[in-house]
Structure formats: C-alpha cells, structure tokens
Chains A and B, each alone.
Chain A
Amino acid sequence: MGPEEYLADVELAWCPGCGNFAIRRALALALSQLGLPPDKVVLVTGIGQAAKIVHYMRVNGFDGLHGRTIAAAAGIKMANPNLTVIAESGDGDIYGEGGNHLLHNIRRNLDLTVLVHDNRVYGLTKGQASPTAPLGYQTRAQPFGVLTRPLNPLALAISLGAGFVGQTFSGEVEQTAELIVQAVRYRGFALVNILHPCPSWNRVQTFAWYKERLWNLADSDHDPTDRLAALSLLISAEEKGDRIPVGVLVNTPPVPTWEERHPVLRQGPLVGRPLPTAAALKPLLDEFI
C-alpha cells in the first residue's frame, strides 16, 4: 500500500508550519515501507497536539487520556500480541504526565514502539514549558525561566535497558520514516524521540536552530550495540550543548519480550479465546467443596 493510503482524508487542526505535518508523512511512509495492513496496526495516543495524529491516520486507534498512552498500549499488546502497537504522543504526555508508565514499560519490554513528538513546549495549552524545555526557558507560566533541569529521555531509556533508542528531526522526513521502520521492526521496547519546532510557541528552538545543530550519527563511528558509548555521547552532547545527535543511538540484540516470557501468551493471544464452559469451570468450583 502506498503511503497516502494510511492517511485519513480529514481536516488537520495543526498550526501552519508545525512539525507534526512532517511526522505524519513520515509515519505513513514508514507504515507503507513496513507493508502493514491498517487493520493490524493500533495507534495509541494521549492528549495534546501530537496526539491528534491518530485521527489523521487510517489505522485502528485508541485516543486515551493525557499521560496514559503507554499504559493503554501495554494493555492492548498484552491482550493481542499479534497487533502492531505504536504509542505516539507529545513530550508532555509521555515524559511529564506519563513518566511512570515510560519507566516501567521499558522494564516490561513488550514489543512496543513509542514515538514522542518533542517540541519542548505544551502546544495545546498555549506554550508552557515541557519536561525537555531547557533551563532558563521563559514562558507565561515560567516568567523566571525554567528552574528545573531538562529530562534526557534518551539517556533515561538507555539506562533502563531499552533495546532500541533513536532520535530524529521532523524536518528530515525520510530519516524519520526509516527510524520508525527500524523501531517497529525491533522485537522489544523501542523509543524514538522526534524533535520538532513549534512555530506558535517555541521561538528559541526553531527550524533553523535545529538545522545548525543536528549531528547525524550515521556520519560517525558510533556503535549502536554499545550502550555505554551511547550514554557517553548523550551526556557529552548535553554538556557541550552545540550538537544534537540524530539517528540510532542504541540497537542491541533483542532479548525475550514480556509476551514471549508469559506462559499464557505463549499459547496465543487472549483475544478470541472462547468463553469458559461448565466443564472447564468444574475444577474451579471443586476447590470450594
């Protein structure tokens, strides 16, 4: 199927110049390259401008609560591991409100793909700082500038053992699509942080600002199977602040996923199992005699 067949024919409510348009194109391109039938894909989103993407695609969708994107995605995957489950939302949703679900689902290692639209601000609520906003970043809600250090989601995920961790920039549609393809194909938890400008609210990290700093790891000798090297690279980039690595940071050989380790799911998905018969329930009631 061509990429356009994954796009819903609806009006898009994003602001002109928003990075979300390019991310939508990249996602469609990736799904097309993966050759996934739309009815076998579930896109799970939360709340925010990024989360609206579920309405603009032509796949199954679960648009849940703000922050709970990964939790709902985990439940869907546990019930039916045959579905390709992609959790996608903004930096506020995944890293702020839903931080706990990110931590523990990296530990669970379900075969999930998490795509985060990271523009360092809360767009839908009009420009407050997100967990990835830099120190000193001023907004109407943070008049003294942000006093809290930004989260480094990539280093966090790598330290918790996420098997696939990448970063990309929305302006690079083909690279973004390629990273999404690799993340979906990866058997285990995969995180892709997608940097993108917010022309309405973020006047600091603009398109041009990113373009000056992007550092494509494909042009380096970084070995994505080396987690320590990836961490060192991220910490050093954070300290210097002049270069932003994009590409695959970590891609380690897959280990058994949660669903592969679960004895019940090894027998097949939960979905579609017949309702219990009286004969099957007899030993249950016999426990009480």
Chain B
Amino acid sequence: MELVVRLAGVAGQGVQSLGEILARSVFRSGLFIHGELSYHSRIRGGENAFTLRISDRPIYATRKDADLLVVLTPEMWRVYRDRLRAGAWVVSEEAAGAKGERVLQIPALRLAREKLNFPLAMGVILLGAAGRLLGLNKERVQQGIREVFGEKSQPNLLALEMGWELAPSCEWELPLARFSPGEWMLLTGGQAVGAGAIAAGCRFLAAYPMTPGTPVMEFLAQRAERYGLVVEQAEDEIAAINMALGAAYAGARAMVTTSGGGFALMVEGLSLAGMIETPVVIHIGQRPGPATGLPTRTSQENLLFALYAGHGEFPRYLCAPTTPESAFYLTVKAFENAEAFQVPSIVLTDQFLVDCYVTVPALDLSRISVHDHLLSPEELEKIPSYERFALTPSGISPRAVPGASRHLVLVDSDEHDPYGRITEDLSIRRAMVEKRLRKEEALRQVTSLPEVFPSENLRGRVALVGWGSTFGALREAVEALNAKQDRYAHVHFSELWPLRWEEVGELLRGAAEVITVEGNAWGQLGKLLRQEAGIRPAKHIARYDGRPFTPEEIVEAMTHGA
C-alpha cells in the first residue's frame, strides 16, 4: 500500500508547516511516512513543495508522481499537473485554476480572508479537505496543528474544520496502525544529526549560517540550555572551525555545521585538526556547486572534496548517513572516533536527508557507546611528566587538557616534538608523520563495510552501488528490478574512510557488473572504487539537477541502459 500526497505553493504560504502537520497526523496513525521538502532559495515566492509518501512499510525515498496534489498557486499547478498518477485527486485553491475530473476547487484564500480574517490559514483549509479525502483521523490532524502552530492554533483549527466540510468523505481508506506509539520515531536528518551530537556529549558548536547546514545549528541552539551546550554563531566559517578547535583543545566536545562552500573556508582548520590531533566533528550538508550553486537543492558532489580536503597528509573519519536513523548513530560514532583517535570526523549529509521527515525505528540509547577518552585526574596525578604528542605504538597519545592538572599542554600547527614544541628536526618529523598515519590503521578496523542486499554473494548479479542518502531510492529500485528478474544487488556505503578497501574489492569482484548511482556527474564513489579497490564500474547513473533520486527513475535508467 502506498499513497503520495504533494503540497505545493510558494514560499511564505507555510507549505513546510502544512507538510509537518500532515506528516505528524499520519505518523500518529501508526503508518510509515517519508516527507521530502523541496524549495527555492528565497523568502517569498518561488516553489515550495512537500511530498509525503504514506506506506504500510518503512520507506526512505521520495516519489516523482502523486496520488493527491494540493496546489496553492497557478504556477504550482503548471509545474506539477504532469506529475500525477492514474486516478489522482487534486485539491486546488480556486485561483490556482486546476481543472479536471477529480479536481476539488476551494476558494480557500477568500474563505480565510472573509470568514477567518486570517489569509495565512488558506493552506490549512486546503489541508482539511485533503485530510478528509485521505481518510485521516481529524483529531490527529488537530493535534498536529497544535504541535506545529502552538499558540497560533485557534484560527487554524477553524480553517481545518472549514476545509474538512468541503471535501467528499474518504476517497481512500488508510490501513490500520502498523506500530504502537514509541516503537517508531519521526524525525528529519538534520534533527538526527543534532540529537546524535547531544547524545555523544557535544558541548560546543560554532557555525556560520549556510543552507543546508543550518538546521543542525538551530536544533542545538534551541536545546543548548537544557543539555548544557554553547552554540555560537561565528563571524565566518574560518572562525567557526578555529573556535571549535580551541574549545576541543580545552576539553569540550566540539562540532561545526556547514555546506560545501563553508567547508571550503574551513579547510585550513581541518588540516590544523589533523596536525594538533584535536577531535572535531564537521557536519557538511551537501548542495549543488560549484560556488554558490543551487543553495537549497541536494547533491552528492562533495565526497572527494571531504575526503581529500586539507593540505598535508593526516587521517580523518568520513561517514555518509543513509537515513535519519543512520544519521543519529553515525553522528555519535563520528564523535567517538574523533575522541578515540584524535582526528577530525566528517559527517556528510545533503539537503534531501537534512530536510526530510522519516519514520525510523525508535532510536535506542543502548546501541550507542560514549566514553571519556581524556586522561583522568588520577592518571594525571601519577605521571611525572606529560607529552601531548608522545610517540606510541598505536599513534594515539594520551590526551590531557589545560587546567586539569599541573601538567602543561602545548599544541602546535608547526611540526612539533612529542612535547608540542616547534621543531625542524627531520627525524622527529618522520616519526610524527608515521605516528599520525598509524592512527588511520587503527581507525580502519572500526569502520563498517558496505551493506549488501539481498545477500553477500554477488555472483552473477548486477550490483548497484551508492552511498549516503540515496539508500532508500536504491533499495526500492533493486527490489523492483528483482521482482521482474532476480539478478540485481544493492551495495551501499555509509562509512567511506578509512575502509578495508581490499575487502570491498573482493566483494565487488564477485559481481557480474558494477554500476554506480550517485548525485553527481563524475561518479565520485566510482573514482574511489577504481583507485582504492581496483574496481572499474561499467556505468554511472548520475543525477546533478539538484533533485533527489526516486526509485522509479533509477529503474528507468537501468531499463534504458539494458
């Protein structure tokens, strides 16, 4: 069972709020949803669309065509009229001019203005009509309105009532609840990264606002007092990363959040993190580039940038969450790896993942392990002298912070001796390079190999290989392809560096053919596979128009190719 509802208006009409109300109402009915937010880079006008998939099973991808379209403007009717499934319904603001057999025209703006003296409630009137068509429980929609609008709920509750009365009843019958409250959760990728940071003991975030990195900053800022964090808006991204490194040196778990352009400014600081072996977590929400690109759209163009950014050679941890659930656990892991190995960790998401509302299995704190990796006061008391960069077999030096004991802590962006003092002694230089790179070998043992579907044995199968937020679209595409001819597999990376690439090579060499599917033109994972695993993908299915992949588009690309 699946239903796709699309709400489309212009910025300023509250489409995101309407989408959130709808998402919450359906989630509270015990059904699975995926809500995709798509918008232009402007405060007023432009396109603002929320695509809600409703299903009786977990879903992690969006769809191209809708069963129910709610349009608020004529422009949105023109954009989305061709993206309707057979038998689709349209709920349209009268002025939007939608026409057709199953079109319900409602003078929502006029009603909102005349009956409620509140033109902004126009969208909720249409939502009311859509809710009834969908067969939603009205009380749950009312609850959603109260949660999203808070004190401003009253006129919106009246608007809901108006819309509800104007719709024919229950065109669809939604299935019964598939889960009980508490078993599944509803959250966005951005919220998941923020929640993961709090769960991992993050105490400090500095950021300069940049879409789509900002939702993480705002999530943490709003919870800063409750969970004891400092969230500071820096004067620029360069300040952000250097402030975070200062805070981390002092002993606070620290993070920055940005997008590709902001990360470009942080790159010297990333290299500093590598040199002074100071943990920091960098969240990059990708959007299409180069330069300012498409500020509010999605892409996977920064894989190689995130991996190779920074002058000099130093280890880093790089992960790319697949779903909000994965974003929560991998953000925790990014913090833990940063602390344990004293390296920068990069969490690579994208606009699609950051902004989408998804039903995920209830986040489980017993699945995460967060430990203190600093020398304890007792240990510090016992050691006669302290060297911040002591040479050790693992490359990891016991870490102290300033002010915690009588020992002094010195870090230096120049090459330094074990104490941290600047040096040009070339034998120390060699020892320090080797020490830093040894940490990568230890880190490599704790990263996970790609997830393989339907089974680890790829023999005779065409492997569709992806990474990050394309997970849901790829999985559904492979399921659909296999339903016709069972010869496909889905291989998906959520951790990308450092990896046991030999094992990746062994796995993929079993496949009849390897095809990469990525939100970029180059096939960046494909390049990495060639370079690190000796695997040469036969084909790259690319998407670089700023839109997320949908399962049907991947199936289509495969079918055309065949």
Q: Which residues from chain A sit less than 8 Å from chain B, CB to CB?
A: 8, 10, 38-40, 42, 44, 47, 52, 54-55, 58-65, 67-68, 71-80, 82-83, 100-101, 103-104, 262-265, 267, 270-273, 275-276, 278, 280-281, 283-285, 288-289
Chain B count of residues within 8 A CB distance of the other chain: 67
In the complex, which of the residues A55, A63, A79 contacts B247, with contact meaning CB atoms closer than 8 Å? A79
Let me know if B185 and A288 touch, CB within 8 A. yes
- CB contacts under 8 Å to A, within B218-246, are 223-230, 232, 234-236, 238-239, 242-246
Let me know if B408 and A264 touch, CB within 8 A. no
Let me know if A83 and B269 touch, CB within 8 A. no
Let me know if B363 and A100 touch, CB within 8 A. no
Let me know if A63 and B412 touch, CB within 8 A. yes
B254 within 8 A of A: yes
In the complex, which of the residues A8, A74, A267, A271 contacts B403, with contact meaning CB atoms closer than 8 Å? A271
Which residues in A have their C-beta under 8 angstroms from that of B375? none
B133 within 8 A of A: no
Let me know if B403 and A104 touch, CB within 8 A. no
CB proximity of A44 to chain B, nearest CB, Å: 7
Given A68-B242, A75-B245, are A284 and B198 neighbors across the interface (CB < 8 Å)? yes
B542 within 8 A of A: no
Cα(A267)–Cα(B405), bound, Å: 22
Given A64-B242, A73-B246, A285-B195, are A275 and B230 neighbors across the interface (CB < 8 Å)? no
In the complex, which of the residues A55, A60, A71, A75 contacts B254, with contact meaning CB atoms closer than 8 Å? A75
Which residues in B have their C-beta under 8 angstroms from that of A83? 250, 402-403
Q: How many A-B residue pairs have CB under 8 A?
A: 199
Let me know if A60 and B246 touch, CB within 8 A. no
Nearest-neighbor residue (CB-CB) of B236 within chain A: A100
Q: Is the interface of B mostly helix, strand, loop or mixed?
A: mixed
20 contacts between A and B (CB under 8 A): A39-B405, A59-B408, A61-B412, A64-B245, A71-B238, A72-B245, A75-B242, A78-B243, A80-B251, A80-B402, A262-B230, A263-B225, A264-B224, A270-B228, A273-B203, A275-B370, A284-B223, A285-B365, A288-B187, A289-B182
Which residues in A have their C-beta under 8 angstroms from that of B248? 75, 79
B249 within 8 A of A: yes
**Which residue, of A47, A55, A263, has the highest number of chain B Cβ atoms within 10 A?**
A55
**Which residue, of A54, A58, A80, has the highest number of chain B Cβ atoms within 10 A?**
A80
B413 within 8 A of A: yes
B191 within 8 A of A: yes
Which residues in B have their C-beta under 8 angstroms from that of A61? 408-412, 420
B268 within 8 A of A: yes
Which residues in B have their C-beta under 8 angstroms from that of A67? 238
Let me know if A288 and B228 touch, CB within 8 A. no
Let me know if B185 and A285 touch, CB within 8 A. yes
Let me know if A75 and B363 touch, CB within 8 A. no
Which residues in A have their C-beta under 8 angstroms from that of B254? 75, 79
Given A76-B249, A271-B250, are A276 and B201 neighbors across the interface (CB < 8 Å)? yes
B414 within 8 A of A: yes
